[in-house]
Chain A
Amino acid sequence: MFVTIEAHEYHKYPILMDRMFKLRKEVFSDQLDWDVSVDGDYERDIYDEKMPAYLVWCNDDRTELYGSMRLMPTTGPTLLYDVFRRTFPNQVSLSAPGIWEGTRMCIDQEAINAVYPSMEASRAFSLLFLALCECALDHGIHTMVSNYEPQMKLVYRRAGVKVQELGRADGYGKRPVCCGVFEVSEPVLAAMRTKLAVSSTLYHKNGVHNDPLEVAA
């Protein structure tokens, strides 16, 4: 299931929160070699102190984490502005109530394959992105600004995502990091559902529900 975890309920999901910060360390520090703040087995930065919302992909019991990302409004302090303003100041100063920032998007391929053995990383990312679009749209958000690896562009395009690359920066890791604007709208959602062959809603606000991926995978 895909759910959000916000500051008033961090304490309810200690296992997921703990695993998320570990996964981020494995992905962003160990695999991508980004210059992120690592503390032991965890990657956590000052933006995690600002009570952000996290979109997490987990099992129905909320004990196994499959993927996560961090959501922050661009009306507040944002990572992309602080980190990228020297590289492309033009683009990352975007700020308005309906524009949100998505960062630290990552998946746990092993955990995913334990439940969905044949699911490839590109599909997993696409599903997480579809859940993000549903979540954003459900909250009146019309635009996401996000950073991503260059090879993700193809994945996004195949998934029906509408992205405009604003710029890319070197020196953050093994590969350049792109920054892009993503349209969030009913037409984009419909296109993604068609391309990914997912007919049901992935993102759920509350409660337990049937796993739509059982049908869609």
Chain B
Amino acid sequence: MSETSDRFLLLRETIFREIKEAENVEKAVFELRDGYRLGHVTYHMAQTVTADMQIDAPFVRTTYPPDWIAIYLTRSYVTIDPVVKEGLRRSLPFDWSEIEPTEEAMEMMTEFQVHGMGEYGYSIPITDKVGRRALLSVNSRAGETNWSGFVKSFRQDWMELAHVLHKKAIIELFGDEDPVPVLSPRELEILHWSAKGKDYKEIALIVGISEHTVRTYMRSARYKLNCSNMSQAVAKAITLHLIGA
């Protein structure tokens, strides 16, 4: 693994932990912003969304300054904000440059830049198992010169972190802790061998599947256990008595 990807990995794991340990979602969006040196970070969760229905009373946490939030609220920008309107209906991540704004949205976007907000943005739609929709949006600092390169480097990590934030928001909103996750026998098997100190290559040989497939099972196990890396996933699986010590 190259030095750069090592650095990115460490950064993702650090922010993952900071989001999880943050007092609430409000604080967590700031952790994400500062960790990646972004302009701003906003998380939206919709109560209900359908292809043609209006979005109702979304749960929003953002790093935007209070004066912009005030304008956004008093002018009901949430009803015309194309990022939110489209974002909660899309499922693939998108760059804000892909949006074709309406006239009223243009006015909002101009206002947005007048208030010193970076012009580039990227949004990651979130769908969870009960079909709930949410959206994580990040935007550039003023004067950003290599936005697309920046997004390319981190989009995969941001997608993962978007879900960490979403899990946190669900707990904050509905108060329920995650139940013990259901892991498949194969996922448990991978965790078991990992607990025995085997790396991906060795596990691939033992189980008789490709290394990429081993990684895929591990990613799935990690996501279900809400852990930032392999060793934490193994430790958590042991604590939950999903695998033996």
Could you tell me which A residues sit within 8 Å of B by CB distance? 4, 6-8, 10-11, 50-53, 71-77, 89-91, 93-99, 135, 139-140, 142-143, 162, 164, 166, 181, 183, 205-206
* Distance between Cα atoms of A50 and B209 in the complex (Å): 32
Picked from A76, A91, A98, the residue with its CB within 8 Å of the CB of B219 is: A98
Assuming the A-B contacts A71-B92, A140-B93, are A181 and B216 also in contact, with contact meaning beta carbons closer than 8 angstroms in the complex?
yes
* Distance between Cα atoms of A212 and B126 in the complex (Å): 33
- A90 → chain B closest CB, angstroms: 5
Number of A-B contacts (CB under 8 A): 114
- B185 → chain A closest CB, angstroms: 5
The answer to the question of B105 belonging to the interface, with a C-beta cut-off of 8 Å to chain A, is: no
Could you tell me which B residues sit within 8 Å of A by CB distance? 49-52, 85-86, 89-93, 98, 126-131, 155-156, 158-160, 162-163, 182-187, 209-210, 212-213, 216-217, 219-220, 222-224
A8 with B129: CB separation less than 8 A: no
Assuming the A-B contacts A6-B92, A164-B212, A181-B212, are A97 and B159 also in contact, with contact meaning beta carbons closer than 8 angstroms in the complex?
yes
Assuming the A-B contacts A53-B92, A140-B159, are A8 and B127 also in contact, with contact meaning beta carbons closer than 8 angstroms in the complex?
no
B217 with A7: CB separation less than 8 A: no
Assuming the A-B contacts A51-B51, A94-B217, A164-B212, are A73 and B127 also in contact, with contact meaning beta carbons closer than 8 angstroms in the complex?
yes
A95 with B224: CB separation less than 8 A: yes
Chain A residues with Cβ below 8 Å from B92 are 4, 6, 53, 71, 135, 139
B187 to A, closest residue via Cβ = A93
- A22 → chain B closest CB, angstroms: 20
B91 to A, closest residue via Cβ = A53
B222 with A50: CB separation less than 8 A: no
Picked from A6, A71, A77, A94, the residue with its CB within 8 Å of the CB of B216 is: A94
Picked from A6, A52, A98, A135, the residue with its CB within 8 Å of the CB of B159 is: A98
